[in-house]
Structure 1
């Protein structure tokens, strides 16, 4: 897992072949003007999901993991409260993985919680169980879904 500001994105472009394009999209796009929903960037290998709204209370948060995609979650406005736990320390999922949604959900609670303010991002890899949008504040964010093994 990574937590940093977008101004430091160049530190991470070497970590995945599509990170340079992902961070370029975040830096060069007027994210406030994008409509809520999904936007293709590089086919199925890199796409954005734009959302806006309030989240859920901490006691309702569910840890999730993905296998096919990793997440860069960038906060456009507001502050997202997120949780994290090492997947290796999670019990069996109470909602098992399916290919269609690329997610499994776990009954465990996060090992720690942290705030992600506007202008900051997280990177969650497949072994990072995470819970996001655990806030009553209105948050506008973009989740970049990046194929772990790009086809291109």
Structure 2
């Protein structure tokens, strides 16, 4: 898991062949006016999901993991309250992995919470169980870049 600010994105482009293009999208797109929904960047290998929503409470969150995609979650406005837990420490999922949604959900709780303010991003790899949008009634505008693990 990574937490950093967008001006430091060049530090991470060596981690995956599509990270440079992903960060270019974040830096070159007017994300305040980008319509919500999915935006293809490089087909199914790299796409963006823009949202402007309220979150869930700390009682409602679910830890999730992905197998096929790495998430880069960039906060456009507001502050996203996120949680993290090492997948190796999670119990069996209570909502097993389904390929069509590329997600499994876990009943586990986490003690690792952090705030991600506007202008910052997280990177979640397949071994990072994470909970995003644990913001209660607060609205957060964000973009989640989905980057295929295998290109």
Q: TM-score range by the shorter chain?
A: over 0.9
Kept in 2, the 8 Å contact 1:110–1:131? The answer is: no
CA distance in 1, matches of 2:20, 2:59: 36
Q: Map Cα deviations across residues 33-92 of structure 1 (whole Å, 9 max, x no partner).
A: 111100000000000000001100011110000000010000000000000000000000
Which residue pairs with 1:51 in the alignment? 51
- Count of residues in correspondence between the two structures: 150
Q: TM-score, normalised by structure 1?
A: 0.98
User: What is the CA-CA distance between 1:120 and the residue it aligns to?
Assistant: 0.1
CA distance in 2, matches of 1:118, 1:88: 30
User: What is the CA-CA distance between 1:138 and the residue it aligns to?
Assistant: 1.0
Look up the SS of the partner of 1:38 in the other structure.
strand
Which residue pairs with 1:105 in the alignment? 105
Which residue pairs with 1:67 in the alignment? 67
What runs of 5+ residues in structure 2 fail to find an aligned partner? none
CA distance in 1, matches of 2:139, 2:95: 27
User: What is the CA-CA distance between 1:31 and the residue it aligns to?
Assistant: 0.5
- Kindly report structure 1 stretches of 4+ aligned residues shifted beyond 3 Å: none
Kept in 2, the 8 Å contact 1:83–1:112? The answer is: yes
1:24 pairs with 2:17: no
Which residue pairs with 2:92 in the alignment? 92
User: What is the CA-CA distance between 1:103 and the residue it aligns to?
Assistant: 0.1
1:149 pairs with 2:150: yes
CA distance in 2, matches of 1:132, 1:102: 16
Which residue pairs with 2:82 in the alignment? 82
1:140 pairs with 2:121: no
